[in-house]
Amino acid sequence: MSRCISFRDLKLIPELSGFSEMQMLLPAMDAVIYPYLALFGLDVEYTISYVPNVHRDMQGKVALGFMARGQVSINRNDINGPFMGMEDRLQAVAFLDRSLLEEMAELSGKMLDYRGDGESIMEDEPFVTFFPYEMQEPDYRDVEEMIARLTDACARIRKSSVTQ
> pLDDT digit of tens for each residue in the chain (164 aa)?
678 899 999 999 999 999 999 999 999 999 999 999 988 888 899 889 999 988 888 888 888 899 999 988 877 777 777 777 777 777 777 777 778 777 777 777 665 555 555 554 444 444 445 555 555 566 777 888 899 999 999 999 888 544 43
d(C-alpha 13, C-alpha 60), whole Å:
17
**pLDDT for the residue 123:** 44
**pLDDT for the residue 124:** 44
CA torsion angle for 38, 39, 42, 45 (degrees, to 10)? Answer: 20
**pLDDT for the residue 126:** 47
E strand intervals along 58-141 = 62-71
pTM: 0.67
Asked if 2 and 37 touch (Cβ cutoff 8 Å), the reply is no
Helix axes 98-107, 86-96, angle to 10 degrees: 130
**pLDDT for the residue 90:** 76
d(C-alpha 141, C-alpha 138), whole Å:
8
Question: Can you tell me whether residue 5 is helix, strand or coil?
Answer: strand
Residue 164 buriedness (CB in 10 A; 0-12 / 13-18 / 19+): exposed
**pLDDT for the residue 127:** 45
